[in-house]
Structure 1
Amino acid sequence: MFSRNFRARMIAVAAIWISIVLFASGLGLSIVIRRVVEAHFDHDLLDHARELADLVELDAAQRLFIARNLSDPRFSPARSGMYWQVILQNGETVRSPSLQDDLSLSLSVTPDQTREGSLPPSTALANVEGPTGPMRMVRNISEPSRLGQPVEIRIGADERLISDEMEHLNLTLMATLGLLALAMVGTAYAQVAYGLRPLQRMSRAIVDVRSGKTTRLPEDLPEEIMPLVTELNGMITANLSMVDRARVLAGSFAHALKTPLAILDEEAARLKASGQESHAQILSEQCSRMALLIDYQTARAKASTIANAGAFAVVADVLRSIINTYSRFSPGHDRRFEVEGAADVVVACDTNDLTELIGNLLDNAAKWAHDLVVVSIEDLDSSVLITVEDDGPGIPAEHRMRVFDVGTRLDDAKPGTGLGLAIARDLTSLYDGRLWIEDSRIGGAALKLALRKKGDPGSS
């Protein structure tokens, strides 16, 4: 799929690149956000430490107590993840309610656990093992004047609180980046689709050239593809000119040969009049054969021109003309002709060539028919199937390919030169059609001709 679809390849590359960039960006943002969240936690802990320092008091017996609870209620529930501990110089200690359920729990720190941070010099940061897991702790030492001695305040928060916060932030970040990825891929698709529109227009123009609607590609396309358009227009013009010259040369050649043939034919008539009938017959037959061969090659040259130009013909008109002509100028042939199906269809074939095609098929059928020739037309969407049947003896299967060879005649007693079906075959191939033989419904042979419909670029 991707090797043959330019749009799919571009979209796939854009989607992969966007995914990689956004994934890397998401990882980087997650790391930065975690650092911001950790710094926020550290500053919150420092604020709580300062608040706690203002609440430390000594009673009349010089025992340490806290004037009231901290403003953050998370220090109250047991093992909540937020803890504090106040230690006087004399070793007296007061702990947060979240540590009161187990007197063995305490907030301890060793020098190797401290880390650098952006807090004041009197404050130290540490990553320690807390009561319920890894914990971030702020250790602040101050000497309030009302106490008259230094006091150490330790406040910690579980790392899981940061992880829980990051989980919600990461989900939001992932959803945002996912929507952004979809939007960017959609934008890339729209950009590729819009960018390829000139190529689609060019493709349709080529179809129009082939179907005969026009002979040139449009010249108002983007400048990036105009060199290609110019070259293609040049090729089309050169091809048409070359075919026209070939047609003129073929016509001139045929005309130049027909005059000597006419002279030879007159000479054959004089020989016959002088009593040399055998020589006259040989000469006359060869002249007729040469004339037919000239017509055969001229028809091929003409068909090649018309096929490239995208000519068309109405099947009904051609059939009506052939049958009327055959009935009028073929005395002694009392054949009945019947037409079935959608005869008003239009095929991509020159009218003269279609006349010769169907005329040869009808002539062959009438020559072998006992009484009836049936022509049926089927519209097959992209093509038209024309079937010419007769009620004659039919054509044996072993001879159905050979009858299309130039000069082949299955019965010398029948009139003809053996060129009709050969011409029909070559004309059919020049129009990308098909011609074959099957058994007839009425007992004889059925010659089937398939041609493209007008305006359809595909083959039949």
Structure 2
Amino acid sequence: MNSIRARLLISGVLFTVVAVVLAALTIRPTLDQFVRRNVDASLESQISVLARAVKSDGSLDQDRIQSVGPFIRRGAGWAWVVKGPAGVLRSQTVAAVEPRQGEGPPPWPRPERDRDRDRMPQREMRPDKPPTAPLKESRRWRSRSGWNESFYFRTLTISTSRGPVTVTAGAPRYIRDRMRDEGLRPLLLSLGVLGVGLLAAMIGQLELGLRPLRKLGASLAAVRAGEQRRIDDKQPRELEPVVAELNALLDHNEQALAKARSHVSNLAHGLKTPLATLAVRLAEPGRDPDGSLASLIAQIDGAIGHHLGRARAASPGAPGRPALPVRSRLDDLVAALSRIHAAAGVRAELDVADDLYVACDPQDFDEMTGNLLDNAWKFAERTVRVTGRRQGARVVLDIDDDGPGLTDEAAAAALVPGSRLDERGAGHGFGLPIALELAELHDGALTLGRAPIGGLRVTLALPARSAES
């Protein structure tokens, strides 16, 4: 997985899901304990009330017997029973609460401290001293828990002069599940909402955290397109070393390119002088009878010009690629070529908007379009047409003529350095290849095709630039 965003997103989702699941698993036993304590508190409250009604001889004070809390609601399932020497007294809500401990599974897990508490020996409660301590205290040493198939109950045994009196209060076993589910559903819903909120916050954090990287990528693209010379230094602290290294690399590349261009240019100019001298000597009578040596000299001179053109091409982002207005440059070239080829009677049509700009060195642009327009004038019969348009991130120029055109094989051969398709005129076959290489060095392209007016169409595409650049 090559995406940082995908890695962080997947890991965050996994961690969030695991955390929510663990929280849900932890909540259930915790909620069980909470429900058990609430049920125990209700049972012990009723037992405490009934215990106060037990007299010293084991009889009951009817005026002090009453139901409290959930035991008041008839049909709620809560019930109590008092057994003693004087007989059995039951609540009116449910008739059967039999303390037969151990029948059926326990209604819920019991903490170890409660099991230890139930194993402690019971202390007797004197009838003249009814339980007045808080329920938590009295439960700790007077009550025991039990269950049967229908009830969960707690029991208190009171010693009297006529024998023990047992006070039992019970709750239906389904009460526990109902109370737990009533509390569990909103908690699980809250956990789900919390998980979704965490995921949304994580996605927002990813977008916010990765935004500087996207800006850095856009800045690098702008440098490559020549829209800015260097990457902006105003970056987050973590990216400052990366930006500093990138800017240092751009500086180093520009310096190395400038040195290489200087060396190539010096070499080419150093060769041109002796070549010019050699051409003059060969032009003397008798020096080159068949002209073959002069042709070789011309080819060498063309190759030197070709490499000089490559040396002039600036690297992406270098200062030599300003925003060049296309229409004004073409106007000057068309005017000059119209004067040069005035005898040919060729009419030039120019359909290029004034707001088209390209990222190109002016001299390279003139050399490319000048060679293409000159070829069009040489082969056109009556018309040379130039149209320009914006196509995505490029400006596309179509240079058409109404001459004989080229076949597909001839068009492919025309872009090979030194290849000439017409031996009648001057030149040595380096015009189209130089234009192609200069276009490619400026992140552009050059293709040959058939013109709508019948001749050759040369399409030159160069990176577009805004006028503000």
TM-score, normalised to structure 2, is 0.84
When residues 182 and 306 of structure 1 are mapped into structure 2, their CA distance, relative to the original with a 3 A threshold, is closer
When residues 276 and 249 of structure 1 are mapped into structure 2, their CA distance, relative to the original with a 3 A threshold, is closer
Displacement of 1:63? 8.7
**Aligned pairs for 1:3-402 within 5 A:** 3-55=1-53, 69-74=66-71, 76-78=73-75, 80-89=76-85, 92-100=87-95, 105-110=96-101, 116=114, 119-130=139-150, 135-143=151-159, 149-269=163-283, 271=284, 274=285, 278-279=289-290, 281-305=291-315, 308-309=318-319, 310-402=321-413
When residues 444 and 318 of structure 1 are mapped into structure 2, their CA distance, relative to the original with a 3 A threshold, is same
Identical positions, percent: 27
When residues 312 and 289 of structure 1 are mapped into structure 2, their CA distance, relative to the original with a 3 A threshold, is farther
Please tell me the residue identity of whatever aligns with 1:70: S
Please tell me the residue identity of whatever aligns with 1:189: I
Tell whether the 8 Å contact from 1:306 to 1:349 is kept in structure 2 after alignment: no
Tell whether the 8 Å contact from 1:307 to 1:350 is kept in structure 2 after alignment: no
Tell whether the 8 Å contact from 1:342 to 1:377 is kept in structure 2 after alignment: yes
Tell whether the 8 Å contact from 2:145 to 2:153 is kept in structure 1 after alignment: yes
Displacement of 1:268? 2.5
Alignment partners' CA distance in 2, 1:278 and 1:312 = 50
Question: Which is worse superposed, 233-242 or 329-338?
Answer: 329-338
Displacement of 1:22? 2.6
Alignment partner of 1:413: what SS?
Answer: coil
Tell whether the 8 Å contact from 2:288 to 2:294 is kept in structure 1 after alignment: no
Please tell me the residue identity of whatever aligns with 2:225: S
Question: Which is worse superposed, 251-260 or 301-310?
Answer: 301-310
Q: Cα RMSD (Å) of the superposition?
A: 2.9
CA offset digits 1:235-292 (Å, max 9, x no partner): 11111011101111111111101110110121123x2xx355634x333333222222
Alignment partner of 1:150: what SS?
Answer: strand
Displacement of 1:87? 1.4
Alignment partners' CA distance in 2, 1:44 and 1:227 = 68
CA offset digits 1:66-114 (Å, max 9, x no partner): 8654123555534x33122221146x322222324xxxx4423136889
Please tell me the residue identity of whatever aligns with 2:450: D
Matched residue pairs, number?
A: 436
Please tell me the residue identity of whatever aligns with 1:120: R
Unmatched 5+ stretches in structure 2: 118-138
Alignment partners' CA distance in 2, 1:350 and 1:307 = 12
Alignment partners' CA distance in 1, 2:197 and 2:230 = 39
**Aligned pairs for 1:363-442 within 5 A:** 363-442=374-453
Tell whether the 8 Å contact from 2:225 to 2:316 is kept in structure 1 after alignment: no
Alignment partners' CA distance in 2, 1:213 and 1:433 = 15
When residues 95 and 219 of structure 1 are mapped into structure 2, their CA distance, relative to the original with a 3 A threshold, is same
Please tell me the residue identity of whatever aligns with 2:23: S
Alignment partner of 1:417: what SS?
Answer: coil
Alignment partner of 1:98: what SS?
Answer: coil
Displacement of 1:187? 3.4
Alignment partners' CA distance in 2, 1:247 and 1:10 = 46
Displacement of 1:442? 0.5
Alignment partners' CA distance in 2, 1:89 and 1:306 = 107
Tell whether the 8 Å contact from 1:368 to 1:393 is kept in structure 2 after alignment: yes
Displacement of 1:155? 1.3
TM-score, normalised to structure 1, is 0.85
